[in-house]
Every structure is written in structure tokens, then in C-alpha cells.
Amino acid sequence: MTKNTKYIFVTGGVLSSLGKGISAASVGTLLKHCGLNVTILKMDPYLNVDPGTMSPLEHGEVFVTFDGGETDLDLGHYERFLDESISKKNNFTAGQIYKTVIERERKGEYLGKTIQVVPHITDEIKKRIKAAAKGKDVLIVEVGGTIGDIESQPFMEAVRQLKHELKNDVMNIHVTPVFYIKAAGELKTKPTQHSVQELRRIGINPQMLMCRTEQPLPKDIKKKIALFCDVEPESVIEVMDSDSIYQVPLNFLKEGVLKAIARHLDLGELEPDMREWKKLTKRIVEPKYEMTIAFVGKYIDLKESYKSLTETFVHCGAWIDTKIKLKWVDAEALENGDLDELKNCDGMLIPGGFGTRGVEGKIAAIQYARENKIPFLGICLGMQLSIVEFARNVLGMKEANSIEFNAETGEPVIYLIDSFLDQGGNKQIRTHQTPMGGTMRLGEYECDTLEGSKLQKAYDGEKRIVERHRHRYEANGKYRKALEDAGMLVCGESKGLIEAVELKEHPWFVAVQFHPEFTSRLQNPNKIILAFTKEAKKQSDASKN
């Protein structure tokens, strides 16, 4: 335990998508493996209060924290790299900051003073940074956006002020590109120099530069950057693209990142134990086996919408020493009845989602997996549509549907959680009111597993598990008996709500209402998805023999 909390601020320059989140998470991973208590905070400069109402096509995945926060997808990286759960307080936006300050002003809490960016907005930013750091050895703060953006200026001013308040307990890392100009055959450092100049103009001097580059940085280039940007040569870190993001901490270690951080923050000698991390990373890069999973979704043009899921398959692949190839199948393309894209796959996944587009295609895919005995995992909407498909094609309820897609259906096998509560459902169910007026279940909920079920076996026999949710619709308990009599068992439930189902007459068909991908980490993959991949590998091995 350090005497004072150490703060590391990570900023980015020149352009976006430099990998600040992976860089911050990688530094955190190394420090944690040294035995330090580390957490990470993301500050987003946009005016949305949170990403909950933003399109996944624009923003990517909405990551859900254990305490029900709808946050930036970088928090998923933080959890996956640190192998621990972090709170919704570890992500805030400019919208939240301004909203809080304006609400206080309306209540008269500022006693009639003129409300300004400095000090009122910056004070609120600093307050939240310090709250996230409480009880930690190190807090890493990723500042969203790019240096020079008008939206991020209050955040940068707060960072500048904290340097004066916290003295030697603060370190600034700047991530910036070093471009290779092919025609000239040269690496160009000028964008990095200008980016650092902009940072210093604000009043922040970086102590480390992480230089994204497609070409190795020679010593003379590193010395040039160090000279013109006023940092130590050892603190100019080469950051080249890797075959896997999980190699980045190992690359940082070779570049001497920890030595520079320890020297600046007076952390003593840092020696991380990365043996398990190295073993798993090697399996990701050089796997022994290979198999294919059909991923039937509706946001396949922007795979960032499914970031936690795609990373979970990387984790599971590392644990079974297998490259899991995801075959991206557009659910809409299946609605014409041509299911050839689903053939020759070792397993099938139907992920979560909102809206009617592609729903009938997903139902057709589920029927194909059920009838052809393909290992199947449905998540959230994937579970709901599994029930719809079973009700239609096994129980003969041709009108079976979710009221999300047909509010007038005569067989509402999926309905709103409000209906469950109105019909005398367990009043202890914690719900969340969304800005658009809907009721959702967000965050962690307990789930009781059925004795002897595939679900319980996947979770090593645990009778009660905890997983995260993000949805408005629920399986209608009115149809439970009919489903179970026909062979679809309710294998998980939470205070009267159906949490998971599985098929008796199928090698491995499980569908869950929760989002297991939110709790998967490289060193601790989610158990139900790991069980699914193991079953798919059995199918793959059998098909090759």
C-alpha cells in the first residue's frame, strides 16, 4: 500500500483511435501484477449524460457495470485487463458534470454566485476524480478526446490544477502518433512535437510519451522526440501494433514503462508476475486448434457494438488453446429462407439487441440450431427469441411473439417487466428508469440455477450465480409450464423471473437473459460462454474425425 494515492493521467494527441484505453489498461495490468491496488477512470467530454441512449453504430457497445452504470466501452477493457469489477463512478461525461452543477445552481446551493467553468465545473471534475481514487494505490485516468478539442478543455484544466494540489503524486502520459511517410522513407516526429506543445500550452508537461507507430523507432528518433518534447529518452515508449491487444502490457514491460513510472512516482522497484498472462497470450497468438462460431447479429457492420462478446471468445479461445473464428452472419439476410451461411459452423451464438430489424432471421437461425443439434448459446434477446421460436414451432403457437415486436400479439411469450410487476411479481426486483421513459433491469442480479442443469454444470455446480443485465423485456411466466412440458426447461430464475432456459433433447442448447460477456476477463473467462465454446470444440473435433 502506497502512502498517498498516485495519479496517472493518460491523454491523446493529433487524432482519435490511438488506443488510449488499451494503453491505460495495460499500464494498470502491469501495476496490478506488481501487487498494487489499481483502478482506472474514464472521463468522456461529450455532452450525453451516458452512452445509454446512443446508437451502437455511432458509439459502439454500451458497457454495463455491476452497479448498473451504462458506460463507455473502455470500461470493459479496464475490467478485462485488471480482472476485477469497477463502478459506474469510474466513468463520467461532461454531460453529467454540467447537469450536476446546473441542478445545484437551481437549488440555490451556490448562494447566488455566478456559475463558471472555473471553478465550478473543474471543481466537480476534481471531486469525482478523487472519489474514484479513494482507497487505491494508483488511479489511472484516461481523458477522452484529443488535445485541442474544445469539449475537453475543462477536463484538461482540472488535470492541470490537480498537479499543483497533489504535487509529486501525479504523472502525465501522452499517447501520440509518429507517422511513417512511405514516399520519403522517413519517420516524422513533428505531429508529436506539436501535440506536446499544445499540451504544454495548457500548462501540462507530460513525463512519458507513448508513440504509436507502424515502424520501429530508432534510438536517434527517440532521442529527438525526448529533446524537443522535454522528456527523458527512457520515457519515449515505442507502441507498435500487436497481433493481440493482450500483448501490449508485455510490450510495455520490454520498453521499460514500469521503470519510468516507478522513478517518477517513487514506487520503488516494480517486478510484475506475468507468467500466466504470457501463457494465455501465447495461446491467443499461436493456438493449436481452430473452430468456427456463427455469430448471428444485426450490428455486424460495426463489430465494436459487440466488443465484450468478441473479446470473451478471445479469452475462451486462450483457455482451450483454440482460435475461435467468428463467422459474422447478418440476421436480415436469413429472412429469405436461405440458411446456407449457417452450415459448417461448430456452434451458433445469438447476441442481445434492440428493435425489430433482423428478428425473423434470428428466429430462423435458432430453429436451424435446434433441429440440427448445433451447440447454441442465446444471450438476452437471444433467449427471448429462443422462447418465441420454441413456442411457434414446437408448441404450435403461431402468434407467439414479444410485445417489443408486436404489441397486439395474442401470445405474448415475452413482455415488459412492468407487466410482471403489475401481475404481482416480486416487488423486490430492482429496476432502473431510463431517460426515454422505459423501465430496465441494469447491473448485477442473482440467479438460482436448476439442479443438474447444463447451466449449473457450466458454473461448476454453483446453486446461485451473479450476472449483469441490460434489458426491458422478460419471459412471460404464464407459459412456463407449457414450455417445460414440451422439453424447454427453465434452468435459471431470479425472484420469479425466468433467467435461463435449456433444451432437454439437445446436446447443448442454453439461452440466458443476462449478459455474461460483461464479466469475462482474460485470466477469468465467463463460465457459460467457456462451456459453450468447449461444446462447440467437441463438435469441431467430431467433424474432423
Positions annotated as catalytic residues are 380, 515, 517
Element (H, E) at 201: helix 190-202
As to burial, measured by CB atoms within 10 angstroms (0-12 exposed, 13-18 middle, 19+ buried), residue 228 is middle
d(C-alpha 500, C-alpha 513), whole Å: 6
65 contact partners, CB below 8 Å, separation of at least 6: 71, 75, 85, 86, 87, 88, 90, 91, 443, 468
Percentages helix, strand, coil for the chain, rounded to the nearest 5? 40, 25, 35
As to burial, measured by CB atoms within 10 angstroms (0-12 exposed, 13-18 middle, 19+ buried), residue 410 is exposed
Beta-bridge mates of residue 464: 448
**CA 455 and chain centroid, separation:** 23
d(C-alpha 324, C-alpha 526), whole Å: 15
d(C-alpha 66, C-alpha 88), whole Å: 8
Grid cell digits, residue 10: 493518460
Residue carrying C-alpha cell 411473439: 401
Grid cell digits, residue 327: 463467422
Spatial CA neighbour of 211 closest among 200, 228, 266:
228
3-class state of residue 365 by DSSP: helix
325: left (phi over 0), alpha (psi -120 to 50) or beta: beta
d(C-alpha 416, C-alpha 407), whole Å: 10
**Phi–psi pair at 267, nearest 5 degrees:** -100, 5
d(C-alpha 239, C-alpha 211), whole Å: 5
| Helices of type H across 409-526 | 417-422, 454-458, 480-485
d(C-alpha 521, C-alpha 528), whole Å: 13
344 contact partners, CB below 8 Å, separation of at least 6: 292
**CA 260 and chain centroid, separation:** 29
**375 cis-preceded (ω within 30 degrees of 0):** no
d(C-alpha 352, C-alpha 379), whole Å: 6
